[in-house]
Structure 1
């Protein structure tokens, strides 16, 4: 029985299994390729990948198993804006003496000079090795003599020991420029059982699978050969409000589920979530570490003695860990040792939040680790357990049926709220008997309230006060920004975002960690939101530049719009116009609702003598809007921008 799983997610469809050959011989470029002036299928492209070929094999040498990737890539430079594509790099991973290695980096640049193809070779002195971090090195190279019209190609081989990584490298078929041909092949001996996940929005032109004999460990053994091709792949256009591009580009990824090598090694890894859960509890020692918490006993007693109610105790535990253990900015789903972290007073997110989990347990609460994938790391697959897709850990409790999250890396995220970076659909509760998925879709909103009180003079100048109130995720963001930048730079940003404001005084309140809204109050003059023409004043009553243009510019979209959380914004302004003036025209009220009550925008202007009152309210009631809802969302923002530009016409009476 051939032991492999392939799952096709989000419209990946195998269109054909008839093998079409498109083999490019390294060291050659055709006259047609070099003469190309533009890519017919995308005239806006400044470059195009002509050929991207990857081949993965398994090698057994000196009692070690290696996963070997060979890659050959050819790119046409169409415009000067793409000249930086002449530079590339190979990132290699290392832990101790266990490291990836790269071999045989080579490349050529092809130019058409006086009707002849001239080839320049990548020399060894053009390849540089530099240390990126303790665990990564970069082999960088720049192909020579690259100009507008050049064709460049390069190839290399990466050898990864399975003791460092069990999994073949992800193959990405799609790029930020068009790809004419992307082909990936992999030959896998039957002793390895891999989960293979294919995802994205481009169809496969070729999808082949056939049994073969593979030379491995000195003998022939049965295996399977796979071949996947995407032809004429469109460029991936980055859009606003997505998690990470890797969630949407067409790609194939791998995770080792088990090894069944008779007489040598038999081991299960993460075939399913139950197996993954066991791996975390046993192999990663999560449960054992959470039992060895005696060093936290006195701290737990002191917190409980000083805080009578449950919520205060939880906050005190979180604040203790935040104040005493410095976050190094890194993420993980485990800890190398909680006592070591406690003594060192520094650790990554896994260290810190597992320590918080241990402290809560020592206080008598049933706290457990919950692992997740951050937004920048991408979605997790709920069908197949890929442990490597999880990169973050928070403390979790189920208290009388309510999900309670705690994260001691974030000073301003209150009890029950995960940081914005963690808002990524679901996490996995690591538990000996009650392991399960837990929703990360927040009940808390991003709330913002703006209030303006202004007096308008006959010269068209506005003077008055503007106050901002940030609550929910808005408060977390605003408080974090204020602390990180300081009051002076925070004010500079407000001025930069609103260049017509002349701010004379500012006051902040509720800036400390709590669940209250942060307030920012400004005294200011504004002279660019009113136009004077003779005895007529034209007032734009929406004074901020938050919605100067629509963030959604594409005519269509294939993937969701992910805001992370729902949104509620209210703007209220009162204006007093000069004596002797009268409002002769005001914007009409408007209301637009998204389908299925997904959101609402309302706008209203009321006039009472010399008083003008404006209320604008924007509600996005869902964190995620799917591709089918995109055009409605685009129209929704078009309406907001349209109303924001409308004016109140004020005329001096005779």
Structure 2
């Protein structure tokens, strides 16, 4: 959801205002280059669509490229007591290393009265570090003012300018003006002042809004005006790369080559290495005889021995530290780790380049105007044996040969090289899958049973399990694994848990052993136990919004095999069956077979892409329903012939025999009914 962000979590450390002249906000009149179109604050037509108890009356954003300044003015009306609670604080984020925050006005308009609330002594500056839990520190600050005496019906209006830009961008401008939000806005006004001699590209995304231009003394003025902007409502489960919100893109960069040329200067490869780094590279080269082994050894060192932590203050938001510093301190963020890996591989004679990535919007950036802010991550591309391999140095515990190393489905990226002129499509590099075998040993009808689970993980699934086993205690793991099956069987206990990790193949195997009591549930004189693909159950999901106007995401890549063996104490014969289900998004096979005192349920599931288009939704839901109706099975034991016949006559699979066992299809809803959290597979 895209809100007009005004509220934040007020937690963090208070920043010492005397330590840095830029950390303390200034109070000054509005800049002379700022202009204001007339707005009517009395309009109430969209008030019913407001959220959080207030309605946005005005949003202005005015940018002066020459002054390196962004002016913002905001006004909103408090509609209810909830609005008093949610709208009575003002907060502005800024980076003290290159920004100066200047407040111009803060006021409450109450009827015909205007109350000045610009009180410098009451403005607090806090350091929140919102990405602290991700081991990232950027040093940004937030100026906060808690307004006093706010009442229902008040209009809160404030304006400020943030002066200065990150010097890493060399004064070049690229940005967006958003023209749609998940809340309504009565008036939007955007202005851009471009100095003579400089040109910008302008491109709309999902909007037809036009701009007006005016030639000023030494600048060209671009203006956009919108009114009565309705709220947009995003459907659930949309892919991360899908952005339904309209915007205006502006950039001084003519093409992606210019962005690449800017990035080349951030990642210089001059061949100068410290003695310590040279020693490490020599150690890897001597210990490993083949190029593949050396690539993997360098990758493992950067992934596992250089911890992930980023101090991204000022220019270090985009400029990496030197490889020598990263190697010595043994920590770095994505660009640091990627830079170090490229440096080590190049020293070994392997072609390696940093790759700038957008982990969320992925392929959508191909529709954007070029600009450095299009990216939030850096990875590595390596040329080996005439083929490109893609590595993410921030992923730990990757094992196996070079073809077994997985890489997230980032879609595309900007490869930083001397020849790059455009974004590069990145093929999927993840052959991983999960293969599960669950064996139920039922010795008699007492309700006691034994469950043995063997799960083989490869690719990214194996990476995840290695991380889980390396970061959790054995007791915590046993508890987590038990809770997974306890949603099906209340009285289940973990007997033991072990794993085998094969560094050569990259395969990670877990073995789980459980004891189950009260396996049977008594229903109208019939003992029943339900079985379904416990793992695949959690993979295929259905969105709440069925009438789709937007795509919805599905897990991809996802390839699962699950086999359930049920060993029973008495003989039973039945008919084998197989069902194939498919659509444009996934394919699935369900098989049922039996032999002497044994039943086998076998499931195969594979997703074919990462989303379902609105035009494909009906076919998906049809296949989903078909899969839903063919997943679950019930093992039943009746005490008399009448009960047996009742089960058989209801259309269940199998034939009645003297021992009274029936394997039957049960309606076991997956995804919708199984609401609990499943452990990673």
Q: In 2, distance between residues paired with 1:462 and 1:490?
A: 22
- Structure 1 residues 561 and 169: CA distance shift in structure 2, 3 A: same
Matches within 5 A, 1:357-506: 357-375=342-360, 379-381=364-366, 384-414=369-399, 415=402, 422-433=408-419, 437-456=423-442, 457-460=444-447, 462-500=449-487, 501=489, 502-506=492-496
Q: Deviations over 1:304-332 (max 9, x none)?
A: 22112222111111223345433215786
| Equivalent residue number for residue 323 of structure 2 | 338
Q: In 1, distance between residues paired with 2:80 and 2:535?
A: 37
| Equivalent residue number for residue 508 of structure 2 | 518
Aligned-partner SS, 1:299:
helix
Are the aligned partners of 1:377 and 1:391 in contact in 2 as well (CA < 8 Å)?
no
Which of 220, 225, 238 is 2:222 aligned to? 225
- Structure 1 residues 453 and 180: CA distance shift in structure 2, 3 A: farther
| Equivalent residue number for residue 621 of structure 1 | 608
Are the aligned partners of 1:563 and 1:624 in contact in 2 as well (CA < 8 Å)?
yes
Q: Does 1:302 align with 2:294?
A: no
| Equivalent residue number for residue 164 of structure 2 | 161
| Equivalent residue number for residue 564 of structure 2 | 573
Give the drift of 1:454.
0.7
Are the aligned partners of 2:555 and 2:607 in contact in 1 as well (CA < 8 Å)?
no
Q: In 2, distance between residues paired with 1:107 and 1:642?
A: 61
Are the aligned partners of 2:84 and 2:150 in contact in 1 as well (CA < 8 Å)?
no
Consecutive unaligned residues in structure 1, runs of 5 or more: 1-20, 111-115, 215-219, 258-270
- Structure 1 residues 77 and 648: CA distance shift in structure 2, 3 A: farther
Give the drift of 1:360.
0.8
Q: Does 1:234 align with 2:231?
A: yes
| Equivalent residue number for residue 251 of structure 1 | 247
- Structure 1 residues 465 and 559: CA distance shift in structure 2, 3 A: same
Matches within 5 A, 1:260-279: 271-279=254-262
Q: In 2, distance between residues paired with 1:626 and 1:417?
A: 31
Q: In 2, distance between residues paired with 1:109 and 1:607?
A: 78
| Equivalent residue number for residue 137 of structure 1 | 141
- Structure 1 residues 529 and 231: CA distance shift in structure 2, 3 A: farther
> RMSD in angstroms over aligned alpha carbons?
3.9
Q: Deviations over 1:395-416 (max 9, x none)?
A: 3222233221233332223546
Q: In 1, distance between residues paired with 2:405 and 2:84?
A: 40
Give the drift of 1:101.
0.9
Q: Deviations over 1:379-409 (max 9, x none)?
A: 4236632122123222322223322123333
Aligned-partner SS, 1:354:
helix
Q: In 2, distance between residues paired with 1:241 and 1:493?
A: 29
Give the drift of 1:652.
4.1
Aligned-partner SS, 1:193:
coil
Give the drift of 1:620.
0.3
- Structure 1 residues 557 and 645: CA distance shift in structure 2, 3 A: same
Consecutive unaligned residues in structure 2, runs of 5 or more: 1-35, 130-137, 642-681
Give the drift of 1:492.
3.1
Which of 124, 130, 148 is 1:128 aligned to? 124
Aligned-partner SS, 2:298:
helix
Q: In 1, distance between residues paired with 2:536 and 2:109?
A: 46
| Equivalent residue number for residue 507 of structure 1 | 497
- Structure 1 residues 602 and 528: CA distance shift in structure 2, 3 A: farther
Number of matched pairs: 582
| Equivalent residue number for residue 328 of structure 1 | 309
Higher-strand-fraction structure = 1
Could you tell me the TM-score, scaled by structure 2's length? 0.74
Q: In 2, distance between residues paired with 1:323 and 1:575?
A: 41
